[in-house]
Amino acid sequence: MADHVPPSKRSAIMALVKSKNTGPELIVRKMLHRKGYRFRLHKKDLPGSPDLVFPCRKKVIFVHGCFWHGHGCRYGQLPKSRLTYWKPKIMANKARDVSKERLLENAGWKALVLWQCELKQPDKAVQKASRFLGRAGFASTN
């Protein structure tokens, strides 16, 4: 299937894709803040510059877009066009994600990934994050 958008228009569209403060990330931030969790954003001194950082808990949360990080859901499917471009790109993103999570783990941090598709059911997503983080307002040592 050929791309129906001219290359110059496609380039302009792709330039608008953000890596920080994305819609899914803002949803997670608002939900967790409302629950009483406090966090830092995009700490550059940690591997992968996690989206949400809970320093006292030594825990981080990544909010991954299903397409960009190759999730196995229906939103994470590779496009039918330009597969020789997209497949290596998404595979490299997945490998980098694993590497960054391993580096965090080796440094004593625990990481959770919340997927964009999980945010279709926000209550379940915030429950998952809450179980991972422990009680709000309390820095647990687990």
> Residue 53 has what pLDDT?
97
C-alpha 93/C-alpha 142 separation (Å) is: 29
pTM, entire model: 0.84
How far lies 15's CA from each of 18, 36, 56, 58, 87, in Å?
8, 35, 36, 33, 19
Domain ranges of the chain: 24-133
Round the average pLDDT of the chain to a whole number and report it. 88
Greater model confidence, 42 or 18: 42
Interatomic CA distance for residues 119 and 135, integer angstroms: 21
- CATH C-level class of 24-133: alpha beta
pLDDT higher than threshold 60 for residue 27: yes
Give yes or no for residue 113 having a pLDDT over 60.
yes
> pLDDT digits over 54-85, tens only?
999 999 999 999 999 999 999 999 988 889 98
